[in-house]
Amino acid sequence: MAGDNRIVKVHSGAAFAALKDTKDQHGKYQSVITLAALMEIGRYRGKSGIAERAKKCRRGPEKISEDWDDESIRDCLVGMFHSGTLDGPYSAAVLLIGVSSTYTAGMAPDTDLLTPLRRYWGYSSFRPLQERVVRSLLAGHDTCVVMPTGGGKSLCYQLPAVVSGRTAVVISPLIALMQDQAAQLAQMGIPAAVLNSSVSDEQQARVMREARDGAYRLLYLSPERLARGDTLGWLRHVPVGFFAIDEAHCISEWGHEFRPEYRQLNRLRTRFPERPIAAFTASATRHVRHDILAQLQLRDPDKYIASFHRPNLRYLVRECEGWEQSALLVKALANYQGNVIVYAPTINRVEETVDFLEDQDIPAVAYHAKMQNADRRCNQERWMSDEVRVLVGTIAFGLGINKATVRAVIHLALPKSIEQYYQEAGRAGRDGLPSDCVLLWQKKDAGLLGFFANQILDAAERDRAWQRYHKIRAFVDTPHCRHIQICQHFGETPKWDSCGACDVCASVPEWLSAPAQPVAPRFTLGKVVAGVGKAVATASGAGGVSFADADAELREYLREWRRTMAREQGVAAFVVLHDTTLEEICRVRPASIAALLEITGIGERKAEMYGEEILGALQRYREGARASAQVEKKTAPAEETLRLLAEGKSFEEIAKIRGRQLATVVNAVAGLVERGQLEFQPAWIDRNRQAVIEAACAKLGTERLKTLKDALPPEITYDEIRLVVARVRREERCKATIPA
């Protein structure tokens, strides 16, 4: 910009942001801002604090009157440029004219998008549909985008926000996602902020003040926050470019994640009639799409629907018994080398699965809604940074998770709907490499889903739940291509008959087809079976470079560097560098900043922040540095529980120490009793209650806990029943094995 006198006509919010951008390291403005421009900004923003700011700035031509229209100001400034009146001490002079109209017409259709894409994101090209969506938004059109998880949805609203210089207000229900996105944007040099319940009052006040000054390109709000009485009034003072509604399917009762507070979003159209609204969703059937358009009152929106076909995913569905499921899980985990997500239906199942896997010497971390925030964050972080390969979570996990290299998503129960399944399973293989979606379900899951559907009081909602149930049952039961079934569910008609990559169209991998054996305690994992990954690659026809090709040692070394960086800054590892970027660095091994800038995902800001560090790490690696081994050997969960019991700890105390739910601990102890590894302690349960439960067992048997619970007085808990039943079952088993 040196020596270049320019008049840039932009919105006042952008003018102010740009003014801030031109500060040098001593805090001095490097541009000449006319007083007229500042007055304009002040007028638009209700003059809050701007007059003072204006006085501090270099004063411009005061002869321009406040009531001049934009064109007059512009003409006057052009004249002053030519006459030299505006020659400042700096070679660059940027004149920013705040436009007082609240809504400027769209940007030129030929706006250069590749430069900011390269500069901030470090990408050299768009993914399918992205550019068209960005241009729609820049042209000021309402827009509805249906794009599967991993299709690059967020860039569709982030890039136009950056280019337009105004503030895009993003509504999202996912607090973790908002925070991660804001952190990622900050690392790219794009100002962004979050307003939701997780932000302190003080911080909120600061964000609100700065948002009025147009300081942010992206502002993330929760729907609850938007629904608050004072929010809409405050938003009127923010230079809003457009509204982006993420997870827009939440607005529809037909969707699988209906959120009543989303219904309030219809106020956006009435309160901000001139601002474009863009709806984004990763999963919406035709019915839901229609609902989104109607509820948000979109005006002749540009509609973009990306294909739901993810050819690099292989769907494998198998109905099994409980013991078989555990055995298959262990076999599956032995087959996948990269990250795996295991979805369990309940919090207790999550904890039991983690304990079970640890008992099998497979390190795993838990993730569910009842954990302490810090623990949950820590577990997620350990998984994201590859410290632990397997994460077991409830459906609460994964929304907004941005990890490209998940090699498999394994479900341990029937999901509630195809949408839910597609979204969760879709977290596999976002890097485009072959990945598996394994659904191991049990007959009793179907019974439970039906049971819950019947509990719904509202008749219409109950009907919808049953419809979802029938669809997911058809998906697992009918021998039709799983890919086609999913595409058809979302209203897409594939032109092919067979995908060649699901368990119906192609062969089932050996680990799944061979009969499963019950898992013995402390099963030691054999060597990882080689060749399976390759078979998948051929089956799905997906090409590309396998991660196994990159130097494993270098990758580990760079990951360690990334973990350190992330820890120092208090951000997630993927915020520092994406896995795909890290992999490319391993392959290319750039030797200069220029070469580093050629890596996908390294924009100017990233290169500035980490460039020297990365080159330094590569240099150290060449000189022989390696990742420090950091294997912490954990005791098996059962041993740990036994040790704590021996120390005289109560169940509650053990639950606290082990970071588990009480029910999980009781279940584990009951299991030990039942297997004869631990003596039942009379002190665990009040003697009278014990007698009552024993009597019920004698009468009703120990087959089903629910039968016993229903027959017993309500104050007797499941935990108590579970423990007594374990003792009774053990005694019965002993009797049965003693020869008469």
At position 392, the amino acid (one-letter code) is: V
Spatial separation of the C-alpha atoms in residues 425 and 437, rounded to whole Å: 6
437 binds Zn ion, rule: CB under 5 A:
no
Q: Quickly tell me which residue has 């039709």 as its tokens.
A: 480
For tokens 């082990």, the residue is 658
By CB under 5 A, how many residues form the interface with Zn ion? 5
Toward Zn ion, which CB reaches closer, 482 or 555? 482
Q: Which is nearer to Zn ion, 320 or 505 (CB)?
A: 505
Terminal CA-CA length for the chain:
98
Q: How far is the CB of 513 from Zn ion (least distance, A)?
A: 16
Give the interface segment with Zn ion, choosing from 195-203, 470-478, 498-506, 668-676 (CB under 5 A): 498-506
Residue from 440, 446, 481, 654 binding Zn ion (CB under 5 A): 481
CA distance 72 to 63: 12
List, in order, residues 6 or more apart from 523 with CB less than 8 Å away: 330, 360, 361
Q: Which tokens belong to 339? A: 């990250």
Indicate the helix (H) or strand (E) that contains 169. strand 167-171
Token duo for residue 663: 């029910």
Smallest gap, in angstroms, from Cβ of residue 503 to Zn ion? 8
**Phi-psi category of 699—alpha, beta or left, where left has phi over 0 and alpha has psi -120 to 50?**
alpha
User: CB of residue 316 vs Zn ion: minimum separation in angstroms?
Assistant: 11
Residue type, 669: V
- Does residue 499 belong to the site contacting Zn ion (CB under 5 A)? yes
Q: CB of 103: closest distance to Zn ion in angstroms?
A: 48
How far is Cα 683 from Cα 20, in angstroms, rounded to an integer? 69
Q: 């949950």: which residue's tokens?
A: 376
Q: Is 607 helix (H, G, I), strand (E, B) or coil?
A: helix
> What is the closest distance, in whole angstroms, from the C-beta atom of residue 308 to Zn ion in the complex?
14
Nearest distance, CB of residue 429 and Zn ion, angstroms = 16
User: Looking at beta carbons only, is 314 or 430 nearer to Zn ion?
Assistant: 314
Closer to Zn ion at the Cβ: 107 or 508? 508
502: contact with Zn ion by CB under 5 A: yes
Q: Which is nearer to Zn ion, 235 or 476 (CB)?
A: 476
From the list 652, 646, 595, 644, the residue with the least C-alpha distance to 618 is 595
To Zn ion, the closest distance from the beta carbon of 574 in angstroms equals 31
How many Å is the maximal CA-CA distance in the chain?
115
Q: Which of 505, 575, 654, 728 binds Zn ion (CB under 5 A)?
A: 505
Report the DSSP pairing between strands 302-305 and 364-367.
unpaired
Q: Please state the closest distance from residue 486 (CB atom) to Zn ion, in A.
A: 10
Q: What DSSP state is assigned to residue 606?
A: H
**199/437 with CB nearer Zn ion:** 437
Does residue number 486 form part of the binding site for Zn ion (CB under 5 A)?
no
Give least dist CB 335 to Zn ion, A. 20
Q: Closer CB to Zn ion, residue 483 or residue 563?
A: 483
Measured between alpha carbons, how far is 220 from 575 in angstroms, rounded to an integer? 17
**Piece in contact with Zn ion (CB under 5 A), picked from 17-25, 211-219, 503-511, 562-570:** 503-511
- For Zn ion, the binding residues in 86-125 under the rule CB under 5 A are none
Between CA 444 and CA 325 the distance in angstroms is 13
User: Which tokens is 675 given?
Assistant: 């297997």
Residue placing its CB nearer to Zn ion in the complex, 104 or 307: 307
Which residue number, 279 or 502, has a Cβ lying nearer to Zn ion? 502
Q: How far is the CB of 540 from Zn ion (least distance, A)?
A: 10
From the list 301-309, 426-434, 473-481, 666-674, the region that binds Zn ion by CB under 5 A is 473-481
Residue 400 in contact with residue 177, Cβ under 8 Å?
A: yes
Residues in the chain: 740
CB nearer Zn ion, residue 39 or residue 313: 313
Partners of 313 in the β-ladder: 435
Residue 729 CB, shortest distance to Zn ion, in Å, is: 44
Choose between 481 and 487: whose C-beta lies nearer to Zn ion.
481
Answer yes or no: are the C-beta atoms of 247 and 154 closer than 8 Å.
Answer: no
CA quadruple 401, 407, 413, 416: dihedral positive or negative?
Answer: positive
CB of 498 to Zn ion, least distance (A): 6
For Zn ion, which is the closer residue by CB, 332 or 486?
486
**Cα–Cα distance, 142 to 154 (Å, whole number):** 16
Contacts with 511 (C-beta within 8 Å, 6 or more apart), sequence order: 328, 331, 332, 334, 335, 529, 532
List interacting residues with Zn ion (CB under 5 A).
Answer: 481, 483, 499, 502, 505
